Amino acid sequence: MKHKGSCHCGRIAFEIEGEIESAMSCNCSICSRKGSLLWFAPREKLKLLTPEDDMSTYMFNKHVIKHRFCPVCGIHPFGEGVDHEGNAMAAINIRCIEGIDLSDIPVQEFDGRSL
C-alpha cells in the first residue's frame, strides 16, 4: 500500500510503500521530546515529493541517524539510518501520514534511553 505524508506546512512531502503493522514509541532523549510513533521501512520505499534541500538534518550522539525535519514548521516526518545488517532504512513518523487511524496501529515501547 502507498501512503502519503508531510510535515505540517507541506514543505517536506513524501510517499512510502508498505503495510503499517505496528509502530514504535522510543523513550530516548530526542524521541520522547518529539512524540513520534515510528514505523520502519526500507529506505528505497520512501520517495520524496519535495526537494531534499528543503529539509534540515539533526544528528547527535553516535551520528548514525539523520533526523529529518522541516526548517519552517519544525515537524519531524522521518529519520534515516541503517539496520544491523547495513540496509538503508527510513523511520517514518506515522503521525505525519495522511488518512490513517492511529488507534488501529499497535505500539511497541522501546527503551532507547538505556542504550
Q: In sequence order, what DSSP letters do the residues of 49-112 get, joined into one string?
A: SS-GGG-EEE--TTS--EEEE-TTT----EEEEE-TTS-EEEEEEGGGBTT--GGGS-EEEE-G
Taking the model in full, what pTM does it have? Answer: 0.93
- For the segment 56-90, what is each residue's pLDDT rounded down to a tens digit? 999 988 888 999 999 999 999 999 999 999 999 99
- Write down the pLDDT at residue 62: 82
- Is the pLDDT at 115 greater than 90, yes or no? no
Domains contained in the chain, CATH given: 2-100 (2.170.150.70)
- For the segment 12-46, what is each residue's pLDDT rounded down to a tens digit? 999 999 999 999 999 999 999 999 999 999 999 99
